Structure 1
């Protein structure tokens, strides 16, 4: 059992990106499930906005990217809601 836990811990350390359910922006928090409007109210205008396509080429949503304090935070918007938050260290 200890080997499994240690293995999972080491695998988590090897990941370059950290996916999370929340993102602190100044004194407020954005969470998965929040609306796109709330995200933009709290975080402001994104530094980069990229469309996410379906397998057939249709529009699935958007990936909004914010650069903050030496890291990049990518927020995926699907159906007008925050679907995922990924923080990438630079």
Structure 2
């Protein structure tokens, strides 16, 4: 039982260590890439929404790209890609 629990913990840690990625044409964007690289590869976003801190200051942006019936949401915090989420429409 302890081995199963340890294996599950290790698998979840490995999954969280993996970077989110998304392919735009022949190039790939990953978490940790700069906002400049994202905009160079993906182009102008279809929608850009500010992300606020608890106190109302600007923390970053949520950029949305619509590709082939899917919405790709990319959060940029402090000039770096923090997360990539793909939503099927």
What is the rounded CA distance, in whole Å, between the counterparts of 1:83 and 1:42 in structure 2? 16
Question: Does 2:84 align with 1:88?
Answer: no
TM-score, normalising length: structure 2:
0.79
Gaps of 5+ in 2: 9-18
Q: Which has the larger radius of gyration?
A: 2
Question: Does 2:60 align with 1:61?
Answer: yes
Give the CA RMSD over aligned residues. 1.2
Gaps of 5+ in 1: 6-19
What is the rounded CA distance, in whole Å, between the counterparts of 1:59 and 1:79 in structure 2? 10
What is the rounded CA distance, in whole Å, between the counterparts of 1:85 and 1:21 in structure 2? 6
What is the rounded CA distance, in whole Å, between the counterparts of 1:28 and 1:61 in structure 2? 23
Alignment coverage as a number of residue pairs: 73
TM-score, normalising length: structure 1:
0.78
Instruction: Give the number of the structure with larger relative contact order, counting CA–CA contacts within 8 Å between residues 6 or more apart.
Output: 1
